[in-house]
Amino acid sequence: MKRLKLIPFFLAFTAAFTGCGKGASGVYQQVSPQEAITLMETQDNYLILDVRTPEEFDAGHIPNAINLPNESILSAPTELLPDKDQLILVYCRSGSRSKQASAKLAHYGYTNIVEFGGIIQWPGDLVTD
């Protein structure tokens, strides 16, 4: 009987580390910053979404990123993100807000979301305004 009690724990533990997050009605993928760079080099028609505050964005952001603060995602952001099937690469400062924003976008029906953590781990170039 004790073995049976471990199965739900094992399944939950495994699900937590499979590289996917789950929003209320959808999922998003989690990758490393290096894997995000590979996607940027090999994919077309993607958006890089910075979900930090405008002040943080102005202090330094990934080239070609657009800024949509996590706190502003209160409904489907159709003006900035009109194509719900477009590849959207999401980041913040440390990875917490990008996970929250990715879950929100999945909830609103966005289907191709890739969360890659925080800018503090970003190995590439930055733009400062």
Catalytic residue ranges: 92
| Spatial contact of 124 and 39, defined as CB atoms under 8 Å apart | no
Give ∠ CA 101-106-111 in degrees, rounded to 5. 125
Q: What percent of the chain is helix, strand and coil (3-state, nearest 5)?
A: 40, 20, 40
